[in-house]
Amino acid sequence: MSSHLFEARDVVAGYRPDLPIIQGVSMHVDKAEMVTIIGPNGAGKSTMIKAIAGVLPISSGSVTLAGKDITHLPTHAMAASSIAYVPQTENVFTSLTINENLLLGASSMPKPKALEQVSKAYDKFPALKDYRDKKAKVLSGGQRQMLAVARALLTDPHLIMLDEPSAGLSPLMVSDVFARLRELVESGVSVLMVEQNAKAAMRVSHRTYVLAEGRNRVDGPSSALAEDPEVIAIYLGAGGRKR
Amino acid sequence: MLQALADGILTGSIIALGAIGLTLTMGILRFANFAHAEMITWGAYMALGAMAIMGPFMAPLGALSFGLPLIIAMVIAAGLTSVLALMIDYLVFRPLHGRPNDMTIVFSSFGVSLLVRMVVLLIFGGSAQYYSNTLQIAVPLAPGLRVLPDQIFVLGVTIVSVVSLHFFLQRTRLGLAMRALAENPTLARVNGIDTRVVIRWTWVIGASLASVAGVLYGLTVQLRPEIGFHLLLPLFAAVIIGGVGNVFGAVVGGLIVGLAESLSVFVIPPSYKLAVPFIILLIVLYVRPTGIFGSTHNAGAK
């Protein structure tokens, strides 16, 4: 049994079983730890967390959360097993109201508990309350990201996984989102995120995994990796220019 | 003119009921189900069968041509049509879902529709049948406007069905899950929704409404194994006019098709009546391909 809160071992996954994109990646996240996954385009960063979330099938390897095997759990059962996933795009239902989006996040619980969790979410994200009955399509990119995170937190997950939470946001919004995530970590939740915005993500996270061509390349404390000449040359350089 | 309007609303409301089920399944399952129209035939004949088993006719209710057995038969038929829809989904559509070629499932729905129609033909025969032989006297509502009590019943059932479906979709968790699934299936699953359960309920609701539409059609016109087939294209026209996945749109689309058919006789020879939905369909597809109430979002989600 693993001693880490979350552990993925030798995961092989992809959109098609005969074409694995992730070819044996391992990683772990401890309680109240913030971990970033970076890497060049096509490294399989998003594929990795999609596979963990059950959106893509895992053909071999194992994923455990708090000692429980969740490798082949169906996607909808993930929400109830303390793992939440925020996709990069289309992460809110634009045709539904903010309140309906939040209620959906609590689909796995009985109604009274769901309503209680939704009202807690409004306490945590008061800005959303003003838009309660508005359709999510009126929200800005930053507000959508906030709604997506609020929705993911409804189930009180141990681990929240985010796919490029800073994508498409203004620099000010980016630091706001990261500060929010940092607060979450301080409250005991673990965060695993994929980021193109490598520099900013490494500044806020404890550890970083660098993936390349579907495999682990380097990993270690973010502060040390940020100084690593290889990482700077290959990944931070490219990521920095993008932004 | 007034009479044509009333007839159009009546036909339109039956088309609307069938179109609601079609738009729901198309929005959620993301394929054009040509077998949906046969649910209408199946439902109508299951009600006929249930009435035959219930035995001799009870006294008609008020001025209506039928008694309580028809209402009970309508409920039984809705149940049996749901069973058929779930069976078809389990045996045909589910194994084909998610195949790279979307057309496979569409063509299989053609096959299913032929099969269902032939089974109905085999059991009940091809001649026209009626739920009741009771003669009804049309009630004059206004100068130049006479309606049968049964027609008022049809309109009432349609209104009750549409309003209850609206409340179901807006107020219940299952309704919310259905709307979420129609917009984004992956995100729905990520939210903890078991999409298989929601899809099953979508079949039950769509099939029940189709079956009700079948009974109402049989009540106001007649029962023939081809009724679903004849309604197939008006149904699709209504769904596309209203925007795929949009329940309110399907109701309005159904009314537009029904009204256009019945009002067209003032402009073109009645034998061209059946072409009218297509003309509207062409205009809508040309001017606004997402349908009147369809969002651009739904159009992208094939």
A contacts of B246 (beta carbons < 8 Å): none
Q: Which amino acid is at B223?
A: L
A contacts of B184 (beta carbons < 8 Å): 90, 93
Q: Residue A108: closest CA among chain B residues belongs to which residue?
A: B192
Domain count of chain B?
1
More confident residue, B144 or A68: A68
Of residues B176, B184, B192, nearest to A108 (C-beta): B192
Picking from A212-221, A232-241, B124-133, B172-181, which range would have the lowest pLDDT averaged per residue? Answer: A232-241
Q: Which amino acid is at B49?
A: G
Angstroms from B173 CA to nearest CA on chain A? 8
B contacts of A95 (beta carbons < 8 Å): 179, 183, 295, 297
> Residue A227 and residue A197: Cα distance in Å, rounded?
16
Which uninterrupted H or E stretch holds A242? helix A237-242
**Residue-wise pLDDT tens digits, B18-35:** 999 999 999 888 888 999
Highest mean pLDDT among A72-81, A94-103, A195-204 belongs to A94-103
Query: Which pLDDT belongs to residue A19?
Result: 87
Helices within B129-275 (DSSP H only): 149-171, 173-183, 185-190, 195-220, 227-242, 247-263
B180/A74 CB distance under 8 A: no
Dihedral pair phi/psi, residue A207, rounded to 5°: -130, 160
B contacts of A108 (beta carbons < 8 Å): 192
* A78 in reach of chain B (CB within 8 A): yes
DSSP 3-state of A218: strand
B contacts of A106 (beta carbons < 8 Å): 192
Sheet order of strands, A34-38 included: A83-86, A159-163, A190-194, A34-38, A207-212, A215-221
∠ CA B132-B133-B138, rounded to 5°: 95
* A99 in reach of chain B (CB within 8 A): no
pTM for the whole structure: 0.88
**Residue-wise pLDDT tens digits, A29-52:** 999 999 999 988 888 999 999 999
**Which CATH number fits the domain A6-242, given the four candidates 3.90.1300.10, 3.30.420.40, 3.40.1160.10, 3.40.50.300?**
3.40.50.300
B180/A75 CB distance under 8 A: no
Q: Which of residues 130-189 of A touch B (CB under 8 A)?
A: 151, 155
Give all strands (DSSP E) within B58-192, no chain letters.
Answer: 139-142, 145-147
Looking at residue A234, what DSSP letter applies? I
Q: Which residues, given as ranges, of chain B have pLDDT below 70?
A: 55-58, 100, 295-302
Checking if the pLDDT of A1 tops 60, the result is no
Domain chopping of chain A, boundaries: 6-242
